[in-house]
Structure formats: structure tokens, C-alpha cells
Amino acid sequence: MPRWVPGLLLSLVVLTGCGVGGAPVRVAPGARQALTNPPELLEFESPSTRLELYREVARISEQEAGQAAQAPMLFPISQGGELVAAPGFEGRTDLLQAPDAGAPLQLSFDGRAGERWQEDRRESLQGLSEREAAELVARTLLAHWRISPSGVVQVDRASSAPYAAAYVDGILRINPAFLYMAAAYGPASLAGSVQ
């Protein structure tokens, strides 16, 4: 063994122990934390990480379903004048496959709440724009929750909100970070099932 090898190894051990040279271990955020972060952070996560976050949101939605609002919940809706958790959904539910319910819902995305939906297409959203993904998710959730509004439903962008989606007083607020989670279901889950 050349004389310089032990010295090099000692130098690497010392530098790594001092925090130099080794890559830090990065831990993916939990679903609730990911929702309160800017949605752009999720865009750069791997599809499998986003899929795990989506499955976590689905598990939580099933646990919270029907409970009265006591703490922050992921899918609050107003029902009979009270705020409750919306019916949950399974982790294998594709929220980008909007059901055809015959009479289409009328949705408005005019951004009157201040945040505008992004119109540029994103690979992390299965090639859709935020606005297009939000429309599919809105239609799917409203149908799943059996909400049949008589008028137009305003769909607002609620980035960094502590919830995934909330329906109160005819307004559906969707956290765009949730869209990145929901969009991971198709590509990531299909890649994982072909083993």
C-alpha cells in the first residue's frame, strides 16, 4: 500500500467528522409540513416521494372523515352550517380522473382571492398546468363529497395553507402542493407496480 493512502483516509475521516465532505442526509417532509411549504419545493421531489405524501394525505383523510372541526384538518367542508372533515378517499384514488356526472359543474378560476393559478404546463403535474390539474381535482373531490352546488363554484389557489382542500360557502380552496402529490399517483404508482 502506498504511504499516502493512510494519510488520505485519515484526512477524509477528519473532514467528514467536521461536517466537510459528506453529503447531509435529507429527510422528506411529512404531508402536513409539505402542504405549508411553497408548492415549488414538491415539484422537485421524486415521484415516489410525492406518491408517499399523497398516500399519507389519503390515510389522514380517512381517519378524519366526518369529525367536527377541532384542529386543523386536511379537507374541511361546511355541512349543515358546521365545519366537518370531508369524506375520506383511498390512497389508490386517482384524483386527476374526474368523473363524468352528466350535468357538469360550473367552476370559476378567476383568482379573485389574489393568487392566480399557474398556466404553464409542468412535468410533475403529468404535463398539465396547475389550473388544469386543479379543475380535475376540484371536479373529482366535489363529486366524491356529493356536493352539488346550484351555481358556480369559485376555485381559489391557497398555497401554504394547512389543508389540502377546503369547501366553505361555495368556494373550493385547493393547496397547489396537494396537486403535486395527487399527480404523482399515475406515473409513480404505475412504475412501482411493474416490478
User: Cell numbers of 110, please?
Assistant: 378567476
Q: What is the DSSP letter of 67?
A: -
Query: 17 in a domain, yes or no?
Result: no
Considering the domain boundaries, does residue 170 fall inside one? yes
23 SS3 class: coil
In a domain, 54, yes or no: yes
pLDDT digits (tens, 9 = 90+) for 60-95: 999 998 888 777 889 999 877 888 899 999 988 899
Identify whether 18 is part of a domain: no
Domain that holds residue 84: 28-193
| Distances 118 to 55, 101, 111, 179 between C-alpha atoms, Å | 25, 26, 11, 12
The tens digit of pLDDT for each residue in 24-63 reads: 444 456 888 889 988 888 888 888 999 999 999 999 999 9
What CA–CA distance (Å, rounded) separates 8 from 3?
9
* Domain total in the chain: 1
Q: Is 160 contained in some domain?
A: yes
- Tens digits of residue pLDDT in 89-126: 998 889 988 776 545 788 888 866 578 898 999 888 98
